[in-house]
Amino acid sequence: MAAEYLPRIADELLEKRLSYAGAVLIRSAKWCGKTRTAEQQAKSALYLQDPDTRASNLELAETKPSILLRGDKPRLIDEWQDAPQLWDAARFAINRAYGHGHYIFTGSATPGKRPSHSGTGRFSFLTMYPMALSESGESTGEVSLSELFDAPADLKRMRLSITQRKSELSRTTFGEYVGALRRLYVFDDLEAWRPSLRARSRVSATPTRHFVDPSLAVTALGATPDMLLADMPTLGLLFESLCVRDLRAYLSTMGGELYHYHDMTGLEADAVAVVPDGRWGAFEVKTSPRAVDDGAAALLKLASKVDESVGRMAFLAVVTASGYAYRRGDGVYVIPISCLAPQQARPLLHGQGPRGGPLVFRSQNLGTVPWFWPLGLRYHLT
């Protein structure tokens, strides 16, 4: 019996794209759930990694790919990178059939042989992220990212230092490894936000590098909860990466983009969310409640430097690992990651909270280690 399907943020995005595009490509790292998500809307499927039919399907892809595209629509083509000829065949079929919602392609790697056509005008591209806490049931979902953008304005990254690790890898070899992991969607760079500033200050253009899911790093380190609790700097980096993962997933429902900010004065914001109309909100990620004041001060300083001509600031928020969500007296929100979701049904901000700010909601109680241990279980780190 198949396990119960947990609704995903990508469900609505996929349905919308199928309503206007001839085909949709869902791309993500392995084990993100893209096949299960595609199956919810597909009427037929081709599984290229099915060992019973793999050899014959790959041969057909070389000689008569149109046969593999036959079936009720939308037709799922799973792990299409194993037979990239199907991409061009699907594009040709869409040109002949017109309409929309013909195919759903899924892939967890870029193909070794690139198709002759980019897919522009025929394919819509959907990036799917690992399960956010609101999808896995580990967030109360009572603070809405979209409502933070709609509310009035008044209302340290994953680093890998070869030198520190005393690695013998050359720069060239390291670059090749990074490129391979990026092609597998294991790495997901967070590009730099470079707004216009009121005062001159050099802004870094270097992206920060995150694993697509922080539990991949936990696995690579062979870390246990006790080990991570004894190494708070590493735990903080993992928590920041988890927050980036969830924010990216939530922001995808609004057509927005996530960036980071760092300038030469040392001022930074761990994440900056920007929506299509130019409004933006900045986040600092803190595991310790004692660091909330520092995070809020940094965000307020950033807001004072940004020229409003680039877009209106919608909010500033410090994301924490647990506790209450509230708005401080200086207007900065404090939001546990286990309260956050892309949408929410309740009104945002009620009651009276710390520092005179309105009390919002209590975060989900996830136990002694409130956020990374459920992810560890998901990746079999027992």
Is 70 exceeded by the pLDDT of residue 364? no
Give CA 232 to chain center in angstroms.
23
| Residue 52 phi, psi dihedral angles, 5° rounding | -70, -30
Q: How far is CA 331 from the centre of its chain?
A: 27
Higher pLDDT, residue 355 or 247: 247
- What are the residues whose beta carbons fall under 8 Å from the beta carbon of 59, sequence distance 6 or more? none
pLDDT reported for residue 172: 74
pLDDT class of 292 with cuts at 50, 70, 90: very high
| 3-state SS class at 108 | coil
Dihedral pair phi/psi, residue 268, rounded to 5°:
-150, 160
Would you say 271 and 247 are in contact if contact means Cβ atoms under 8 Å apart?
Answer: yes
Check: CB of residue 143 under 8 Å from CB of residue 309: no
Q: Which residue has the higher pLDDT, 139 or 76?
A: 76
Question: Helix, strand or coil for residue 305?
Answer: helix
Q: Is the pLDDT reported for residue 374 higher than 60?
A: no
With a cut of 50, say whether residue 351 has pLDDT above it: no
- 7: pLDDT confidence band, cut at 50, 70 and 90? very high
Quick: pLDDT tens for 27-77.
988 888 999 999 999 999 999 999 999 999 999 999 999 999 999 999 999
- Rounded-to-integer distance, Cα 246 and Cα 348, Å: 19
* Predicted TM-score of the model (pTM): 0.67
Report the 10 Å Cβ neighbour count for 45.
18
Asked whether the beta carbons of 107 and 80 are under 8 A apart, the reply is yes
Q: How far apart are CA 32 and CA 212, in angstroms?
A: 10
* Per-domain residue ranges of the chain: 9-127, 133-378
| E-strand stretches of 56-202 | 75-78, 103-107, 123-127, 143-144, 187-190
Residue 134 identity (one-letter amino acid): S
Q: What is the pLDDT of residue 169?
A: 59
In this structure, the number of other CB atoms found within 10 A of the CB of residue 142 comes to 22
Mean pLDDT, residues 295-302: 95
Q: Quick: pLDDT tens for 316-335.
A: 999 998 888 899 999 999 99
Going by pLDDT thresholds of 50, 70 and 90, the confidence category of residue 156 is very low
Q: Are 68 and 57 spatial neighbours (Cβ–Cβ below 8 Å)?
A: yes
Q: Which whole-number Å values give the CA distances from 107 to 24, 92, 127, 128, 232, in the listed order? A: 11, 20, 10, 11, 35
Neighbours of 151 (CB within 10 A): 17
* Cβ-contact 212, 242 below 8 angstroms: no
Supply the mean pLDDT for the chain. Answer: 81
Percent of the chain having pLDDT more than 70?
Answer: 81
C-beta of residue 123 within 8 angstroms of C-beta of residue 89: no
**Domain 9-127, what fold?**
Rossmann fold (3.40.50)
* 223 has a pLDDT exceeding 90: no
SS3 labels along 312-328: CEEEEEEEECCCEEEEC
Ordered alpha helix ranges (H), 151-213: 171-183
pLDDT above 70: residue 155: no
Q: Record the tokens describing residue 342, joined without a space.
A: 């892309």
3-state SS class at 201:
coil
Q: In whole angstroms, how far apart are CA 166 and each of 216, 227, 228?
A: 22, 21, 21
Q: State the Cα–Cα distance between residues 310 and 356, nearest whole angstrom.
A: 31
Q: What is the predicted pLDDT for the residue at 72?
A: 95
Contact indicator for 280, 305 with CB cutoff of 8 Å: no
How far apart are alpha carbons 272 and 302 in whole angstroms? 11
Overall size of the chain counted in residues: 382
